[in-house]
């Protein structure tokens, strides 16, 4: 299959303020390499971090920045500029420009173009972790998503300000993948297929205020759901208790316990693809207390009796009319990863098993990167350590190739 390109497509790239603006230069390079024409708009704050000359050298086109330039208006009015592109991309998207977009403000060239455009819009936020997690920013993001704006979620990691957390601009190849999925029909080989994805931990109650859980953040499962949707699949995501946002473009069902997750999985069938990435608790308390268990002076510690939770992966892998064509399980291991995962695939009956090392030193569980081994009847594929979004995109592409013979 021919490589997917952006030949004949025009991108309007708005670069707003922030230290991450330097990554916009790499994004331009990748877009040009993919065949796209790029017109850049640089905000006043963005020009504090990158220069118009650097953007002009890479785009090979004039860089726009002044709403009231009579020369620019005579060459290409701002209304025409906003509509001549196939896609408007804001990268990085600062908290300020996101707030202005949500409020419908148009005080400079960038915001005027965003308000005047009739083309799809993609934003890649980048900001301090506290700004990203602030209720105002969260509300603005939800407003933009409700209006159809595609949001490439920021990554977690160290920041220039010295803090650590979510807010780092997604890497340019990840942004490019989202652009390709929006603009290239050839990149949607899973159109017409239903994908079922589970994600996150489960919480098994001890009493009304305590529960048994694990450290899963749900980032990998949520990223897989979004990657499958980007390839055209109709995705049902069944999510345990997580603190991350629902991925756009998928149907999300929220559950708490393993029993609830199994019931939701069964209700979502039939499906062509099942990717069971959730870290389901193996056991639950047999009889959770109906009231909070009190610590009484001199009293013995309460004894908890455990029972085994339902095995969702083994249940879905059982032969039958509702078994998905491809069942992908996950194995989070802390030692002898390959051996344990290989045995698990045979024991559970799934087609593929994604194995990873989640020992504390790996930083995988709860982190932003993953290093996996894809185990199937054909053998073992060792993948390099990648951001979880990139792992998801690569896994979704392998799934598409397996089901359709097409390589996105």
152-182 pLDDT, tens digit each: 999 887 766 667 778 899 999 889 988 987 8
Of the chain, the end-to-end C-alpha distance in Å amounts to 8
Give Cα separations from 77 to 65, 112, 177 (angstroms).
13, 11, 30
Question: 348 labelled as ligand-binding?
Answer: yes
Question: 62 labelled as ligand-binding?
Answer: no
- List the 194-199 sheet strands across, edge first: 251-254, 234-239, 194-199, 273-276, 326-333, 352-357, 372-376, 379-382
Question: 164 labelled as ligand-binding?
Answer: no
Q: What tokens appear for 68 in the block?
A: 């009231």
d(CA 272, CA 112): 44
Question: 282 labelled as ligand-binding?
Answer: yes
d(CA 195, CA 315): 17
Confidence at residue 75, expressed as pLDDT on a 0 to 100 scale = 54
Q: Containing H/E element for 262?
A: helix 258-268
Asked if 161 is an active-site residue, the reply is: yes
Confidence at residue 285, expressed as pLDDT on a 0 to 100 scale = 96
Domains belonging to the chain, first-starting first, are 10-185 (3.40.50.1950), 188-289+299-403 (3.40.50.10300)
Instruction: Please check whether residue 395 is in contact with residue 228, taking contact to mean a CB–CB distance below 8 angstroms.
Output: no
Q: How confident is the model at residue 73 (pLDDT cuts 50, 70, 90)?
A: low
Question: 324 labelled as ligand-binding?
Answer: no
Give Cα separations from 325 to 85, 272, 332, 344 (angstroms).
39, 5, 23, 19
Residue of 7, 57, 103, 161 marked active site: 161
Instruction: Please check whether residue 326 is in contact with residue 274, taking contact to mean a CB–CB distance below 8 angstroms.
Output: yes
Q: Averaged over 215-226, what is the pLDDT? A: 93
Give Cα separations from 95 to 18, 47, 329 (angstroms).
10, 16, 38
Instruction: Please check whether residue 328 is in contact with residue 344, taking contact to mean a CB–CB distance below 8 angstroms.
Output: no
pTM over 0.75: no
Q: For 98-154, how does the pLDDT look when each residue is reduced to its tens digit (9 = 90+)?
A: 999 999 999 899 999 999 898 999 999 999 999 999 999 999 999 999 898 999 999
d(CA 278, CA 216): 8
For 130, phi then psi, to 5°, come to -70, -30
Closest by CA to 150, choosing from 95, 101, 89, is 89
Better-scored residue on pLDDT, 40 or 18: 40
Whether the predicted pLDDT of 407 surpasses 90: no
């Amino acid at each position: 299959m021919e490589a997917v390109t952006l030949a004949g497509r025009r991108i309007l790239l708005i670069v707003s303020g922030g230290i991450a603006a330097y990554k916009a230069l790499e994004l331009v390079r990748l877009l040009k390499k993919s065949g796209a024409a790029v017109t850049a708009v640089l905000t006043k704050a963005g020009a504090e971090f990158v220069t118009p000359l650097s953007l002009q050298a890479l785009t090979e086109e004039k860089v726009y920045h002044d709403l009231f330039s009579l020369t620019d208006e005579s060459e290409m009015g701002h209304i025409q500029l906003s509509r001549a592109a196939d896609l408007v991309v804001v990268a990085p998207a600062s908290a300020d420009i996101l707030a202005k977009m949500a409020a419908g403000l148009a005080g400079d060239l960038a915001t005027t173009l965003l308000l005047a455009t009739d083309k799809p819009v993609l934003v890649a936020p980048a900001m301090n972790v506290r700004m990203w997690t602030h209720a105002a920013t969260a509300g603005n993001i939800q407003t933009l998503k409700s209006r159809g704006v595609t949001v490439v979620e920021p990554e977690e990691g160290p920041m220039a300000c010295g803090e650590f957390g979510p807010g780092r601009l997604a890497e340019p190849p990840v942004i490019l993948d989202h652009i390709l999925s929006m603009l290239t029909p050839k990149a949607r080989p899973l159109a017409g297929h239903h994908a079922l994805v589970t994600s996150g931990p489960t919480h098994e109650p001890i009493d009304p205020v305590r529960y048994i859980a694990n450290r899963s953040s749900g980032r990998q499962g949520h990223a897989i759901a979004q990657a499958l949707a980007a390839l055209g699949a109709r995705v049902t995501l069944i999510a345990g208790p997580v603190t991350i946002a629902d991925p756009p473009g998928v149907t999300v069902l929220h559950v708490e316990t393993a029993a609830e997750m199994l019931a939701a999985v069964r209700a979502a069938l039939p499906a062509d693809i099942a990717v069971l990435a959730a870290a389901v608790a193996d056991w639950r308390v047999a009889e959770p207390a109906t009231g909070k268990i009190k610590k009484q002076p001199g009293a013995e510690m309460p004894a908890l009796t455990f029972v085994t939770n339902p095995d969702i992966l083994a249940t879905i892998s059982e032969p039958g009319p509702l078994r998905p064509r491809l069942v992908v399980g996950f194995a989070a291991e802390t030692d002898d990863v390959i051996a344990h995962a290989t045995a698990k695939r045979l024991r559970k009956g799934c087609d593929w098993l994604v194995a990873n090392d989640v020992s504390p030193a790996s930083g995988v569980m709860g982190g932003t990167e993953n290093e996996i081994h894809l185990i199937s009847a054909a053998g073992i594929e060792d993948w390099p350590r990648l951001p979880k979004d990139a792992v998801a995109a690569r896994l979704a592409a392998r799934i598409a190739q397996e089901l359709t013979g097409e390589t996105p």
